[in-house]
Structure 1
Amino acid sequence: MRGSAARRRVIAVTGVAALLALAGACGKAGGDDDGGGAKAGSGVSAGAASQGASGEPASEGGKGLSQKTLDRLALSGQDVPGYGVTAVSGKGSSVDRGSVTAYRAATPAPCRPVYAAAQLGSLHDFTAQVVQDVVSDSDGLGEHASVSLASYTRADARSVMSELRAALAQCTTADMRPSPAHPDAGLGFTGAQPRPVSGYGDEAVAFEATQVIVGSGAGPAIPVTVLVVRQDATIATFMSLNPVQPPAIPQDVLDAQLKKLA
């Protein structure tokens, strides 16, 4: 579970860093400006993201991609000028295969797909995975996204999406927490609200929630926005969080990643 704990720490630290950076930037930013990003569930279409073709297969015979192939499809700094791209899992870093165990033990049980998606994962075993933090070089609004690519069998990829939709319908008032058997999990989520979304990949699901720190005393409650897109047998999950204004996934990051998967 070492990789699992490390990934959760990265997401939690991102939230705290955003809190500090954005608090310092409040005087620069208009309160109603979302920075031009794509708010999950805003109902906007994919635009240029759906028009590109990378030439790479989205799956290998419906069996999922190899790690080497998925690494090539993940974002690099050249794909998103003005952003720093840091690998957390895969693409030269150790691949985190332990988190799914904690996701499968989260409570309440019907909300586990939402809990997993909010942490860039699912309840299914993947064939390959890349998780990256993409952060703007400008400190003006602290624009950032955590981006996960995970490849599955085609049947499992479809199940990831159907399970997430079903769970969101049941979990709008749930307090989602890690199991006591996984005390290092660290993060909980509450108030998950599905949002309409269209035009991305083969299918897409979007929701918003509030991230809370579990088991460490009072901590910041940070709004998060999540967009999950299926492109054949690959699931791309985008997450952004912002303690000052409604979080938004940078549109250029979203477009660049989906273009590489198309």
Structure 2
Amino acid sequence: MSRSIGRRHLAAMTLMAIGMTACGGEHDGGAPTAKAAVSQGTAQNARVLSQQQLEDAVVDAHDLPGVQVNEIGVGTKGVGNGVIHAVRRATDPSLCAPVSAAVDGASGYTPVGSVQRIAGTKSHSAILTLVSYRSADASRVMKELRAGLKSCKGYEAAGPGAMKVTFENVEATKAPPQGDEGLAFRLKWVAEPGEDGLRVPSSVAVIRHRSTLAIYKAISDSPRTPASIPSDLVNAQSKVLDAAVQTTS
């Protein structure tokens, strides 16, 4: 393995490891999209998936032939299995807090249940996070993220211990069409500051299925190649979640 490839691999693995917590907070947002506005009333009265129902809703080979789903931190210590909690650590600037939280699949609201896995096929994969929220919290998370993406261009956040994590080039992108509403963006994690430092491209998509959010995060292994979220994974997982939130009583 060359030194440059090794650095990129280490950076990507480090980014996955630190992506267990994020900053959260509330910000005033602009008007939601037409699709989101129509569905917010449904979200406020949506049935909430329990922890077990959420775990049962994780995509598997029956839903997507050839998919591999692995727990995060298997065989390691200190990483855990990706359980999501409400997070409230600060970002600089503060308006980027919802973006920082979304990178890690979290928000400033306490989930009812959550599950985080690495999922994909042999050719591509992503970090998959499913989070169920109470009542209208899911819509609030989307509203705050939408507002943050309008102004956030880059930020610094507190990482594990005294570590500082820096992201730059935050840019909203076209969201997948699934679910009740969706948001997507890309950014670069600055692993090595400086003009010639290592920057790891990442892409994030957040899709709301009633009161459950599905968050997909992909990490590129090349600083010159944008990260791509697997569309087949999004399609398959969306179908499973849609069925789960419609049949839950």
TM-score (norm 2): 0.69
- CA distance in structure 2 between the partners assigned to 1:134 and 1:14 by the alignment: 18
Judged with a 3 Å threshold, the aligned counterparts in structure 2 of structure 1 residues 228 and 106 are, in CA distance, closer, same or farther, namely same
Deviations 1:40-99 (A, max 9, x none): xxxxxxxxxxxxxxxxxx98963632100100111224433223211239xxx756345x
What root-mean-square deviation, in Å, do the aligned CA atoms of Structure 1 and Structure 2 show?
3.1
- CA distance in structure 1 between the partners assigned to 2:201 and 2:67 by the alignment: 22
1:64 equivalent in structure 2: 48
Deviations 1:201-233 (A, max 9, x none): 100011111122389xx9631111111000100
Residue 167 of structure 2 is aligned to residue 189 of structure 1: yes
Identity of aligned pairs, percent? 29
- Asked if 2 retains the 8 angstrom alpha-carbon contact of 1:107 and 1:179, the reply is no
Q: Which runs of 5+ in 1 are unaligned?
A: 1-9, 17-57
1:125 equivalent in structure 2: 110
- CA distance in structure 1 between the partners assigned to 2:119 and 2:82 by the alignment: 18
1:179 equivalent in structure 2: 158
Give 3-state SS (helix, strand or coil) of 2:72's partner: strand
- Asked if 1 retains the 8 angstrom alpha-carbon contact of 2:185 and 2:203, the reply is yes
Structure 1, 156-165 or 64-73: larger mean CA deviation = 64-73
Give 3-state SS (helix, strand or coil) of 1:224's partner: strand
Alignment of 1:44-55 (within 5 A): none
Give 3-state SS (helix, strand or coil) of 2:158's partner: coil
Give 3-state SS (helix, strand or coil) of 1:188's partner: strand
Give 3-state SS (helix, strand or coil) of 2:90's partner: coil
TM-score (norm 1): 0.66
Residue 83 of structure 2 is aligned to residue 96 of structure 1: yes
Residue 200 of structure 2 is aligned to residue 222 of structure 1: yes
Q: Which runs of 5+ in 2 are unaligned?
A: 1-9, 17-41, 74-79, 243-249
Judged with a 3 Å threshold, the aligned counterparts in structure 2 of structure 1 residues 62 and 171 are, in CA distance, closer, same or farther, namely same
**How many pairs are equivalent?**
198
